[in-house]
Amino acid sequence: MSTLRPVVLCGGSGTRLWPLSRSLYPKQFMELGGHTLFGDTVTRAANLPDSAAPLVVCNEGHRFYVAAALQQMGIVGSILLEPQGRNTAPAIALAAFAALADGDDPLLLALPSDHALQPQAAFAEAVAVARRCAEKGHIVTFGITPTGPETGFGYIRQGEALPCGGCAVDRFVEKPAQDRAEAMLAEGGYLWNSGMFLFRASAYLEELARLAPSMHEACRTAWEARSADHDFIRPESAAFLASPADSIDYAVMEKTHRAAVVPLTAEWSDLGSWEAFYEAAPHDGDGNARLGDVVTEGAQNCYLHASHRLVAALGVADLVVVETADSVLVADRSRAQDVKTIVERLKAAGRSEAENHPLVYRPWGSYETLARGDRFQVKRIIVKPGGQLSLQRHHHRAEHWVVVAGTAEITVGDEVRLYHEDQSTYIPLGTVHRLKNPGIIPLVIIEIQSGAYLGEDDIVRLEDRYGRQS
């Protein structure tokens, strides 16, 4: 049996799930009570028989979230960086070229990183059928057995049965109006389009070359001119950006004669809105979905998500309340799809809350903004063992560092010293400095910044082991 290579696609931004999901911290990395959708996707694929190390396709802004998540899970995978998102067809092409470069021609299981799906047994059974079809040369998609006339999903009409156990694809249907969705379910033979695919790497590239030759050529050129950067593989930027932007559905699946569909009966959701999160979550006796430190009295049919503090709901109904360290969303559940309009207004106003999350991953660890005010900012910095920040200086701010846990090797000007718990140091404005963890446990630092400008772009990197520029 051929090797199965998962391809995890991390290109989404999830603006309808603000404030937990941000442009630089999308929904697949959101903390959901001890797990993330990205972690769930990687685990789901890793638990399949004969599953190899994953190929993850993401963009520059999310690379450290992916690297940190894989490291925490103890999974070694390949991370391909798109210089800019071009939709799913080019992203999967990069993964196919990467898989072939390893000297094999595996079956690729392409999975969005932000879906919920259970149980694992049903998924594994559908993948087993799809593998048989892919071994016969088919390009397979998975169709979810509908539970109602959903207007937010595309549909697939099943054609004739195939010997491998799947069906030919008769046609794809765009997201329908309510009456059309009801008519299709009454007629039967329609499945929800899940956005999951399975095919041999070479088969996909053959069809891409036939059906979208300019895209195939751009991705091939970008891959051949790739460079490696520590944990990341970077296709050549100009060549990749020359590729048309298109989904695998439009570029390949709707045109190929090799398309097949395998039905999957499971609890599945693309979790595209807070209403979808409400429907997928367990409910209390009053119909409330509660996550985190939540207390209710007389509240009904609400989605209540507390990340950092107590959320109390009294005598309200049909609300979405989502609390984060820097923002709180309160919305009518019937307007949950419209959250993206709030994000658009925040972007237009230049508000950082639209793009940035208080918790940010870096190759050396992470930092989290704890407090911010006029001319000051407080952060918690965690440096993993052996990690070090760049040798840098700032034009507009001074910094105080207090060691909370671990041992810090701190460079200030020409002096290099070790600091331990409860010890601190001061870095004057403009002074060259560096923070390093020489120990075997995570280093935790509280950083107090003061100055006229406290933006992250006020960093002049003089030396950086991770190849980053100022």
For the chain, give the secondary structure using H, E and C. Answer: CCCEEEEEECCCCCHHHCCCCECCECHHHCCCCCCCHHHHHHHHHHCCCCECCCEEEEEHHHHHHHHHHHHHHCCCCEEEEECCCCCHHHHHHHHHHHHHHCCCCCEEEEEECCCEEECHHHHHHHHHHHHHHHHCCCEEEEEECCCCCCCCCCEEEEEEECCCCCEEEEEEECCCCHHHHHHHHHHCCEEEEEEEEEEEHHHHHHHHHHHCHHHHHHHHHHHHCCEEECCEEECCHHHHHCCCCCCHHHHHHCCCCCEEEEEECCEEECCCCHHHHHHHCCCCCCCCEEECCEEEECCECCEEEECCCCEEEECCECEEEEECCCCEEEEEHHHHHHHHHHHHHHHHCCCHHHCCCCEEEECCEEEEEEEEECCEEEEEEEECCCCECCEEECCCEEEEEEEEECCEEEEECCEEEEECCCCEEEECCCCCEEEECCCCCCEEEEEEEEECCCCCCCCEEEECCCCCCC
**Residue scoring higher pLDDT (125 or 272):** 125
Mean pLDDT of the chain: 94
**What band does 127 get if pLDDT is binned at 50, 70 and 90?**
very high
- Is pLDDT at 457 greater than 90 in this prediction? no
> Is residue 384 classed exposed, middle or buried when 0-12, 13-18 and 19+ CB atoms within 10 A define those classes?
middle
The reported pLDDT for the residue numbered 310 is 97
Domain 363-463 in CATH 3.30.413.10? no
The reported pLDDT for the residue numbered 68 is 85
- Is pLDDT at 218 greater than 80 in this prediction? yes
Query: C-alpha angle with apex 88: 79 to 268, nearest 5 degrees?
Result: 95
- Taking only the tens place, the pLDDT of each residue in 50-79 is 999 999 999 888 888 898 889 889 999 999
Q: What's the rounded mean pLDDT across residues 366-395?
A: 94
- Is pLDDT at 1 greater than 80 in this prediction? no
The reported pLDDT for the residue numbered 470 is 62
Model confidence pTM above 0.95: no
- Is pLDDT at 110 greater than 80 in this prediction? yes
Q: What percent of the chain has pLDDT over 90?
A: 81
The reported pLDDT for the residue numbered 360 is 86
Neighbours of 201 (CB within 10 A): 26
Q: What is the residue extent of each domain of the chain?
A: 4-269, 274-344, 363-463
- Is pLDDT at 129 greater than 90 in this prediction? yes
- Taking only the tens place, the pLDDT of each residue in 34-54 is 889 999 999 999 999 999 999
- Of 201-210, 235-244, 264-273, least confident by mean pLDDT is 264-273
- Of 57-61, 125-129, 164-168, 464-468, least confident by mean pLDDT is 464-468
Q: What's the rounded mean pLDDT across residues 16-27?
A: 88
Neighbours of 34 (CB within 10 A): 6
Longest dimension (CA), the chain: 77
The reported pLDDT for the residue numbered 424 is 95
**What band does 14 get if pLDDT is binned at 50, 70 and 90?**
low
Q: What's the rounded mean pLDDT across residues 117-135?
A: 97
The reported pLDDT for the residue numbered 461 is 94
Cis peptide before 119 (omega within 30 of 0): yes
User: For the stretch 160-170, what's the b/e string if a residue is b when 16 or more beta carbons lie within 10 angstroms of its beta carbon?
Assistant: eebebbbbebe
**What band does 13 get if pLDDT is binned at 50, 70 and 90?**
low
The reported pLDDT for the residue numbered 31 is 81
Side chain identity at residue 170, one-letter code: D
Give the chain's end-to-end CA distance (angstroms, integer): 48
The DSSP bridge pattern shows strands 365-373 and 376-383 to be antiparallel
Residue linked to tokens 């929800």: 192
- Of 38-52, 53-67, 372-386, 394-408, least confident by mean pLDDT is 53-67
The reported pLDDT for the residue numbered 323 is 96
Fold of 4-269: Spore Coat Polysaccharide Biosynthesis Protein SpsA; Chain A (3.90.550)
Q: What's the rounded mean pLDDT across residues 307-333?
A: 96
Which two tokens mark 195? 């956005």
- Is pLDDT at 433 greater than 90 in this prediction? yes
Q: What are phi and psi of 163, to 5 degrees?
A: -60, -25
Which two tokens mark 209? 């070359």
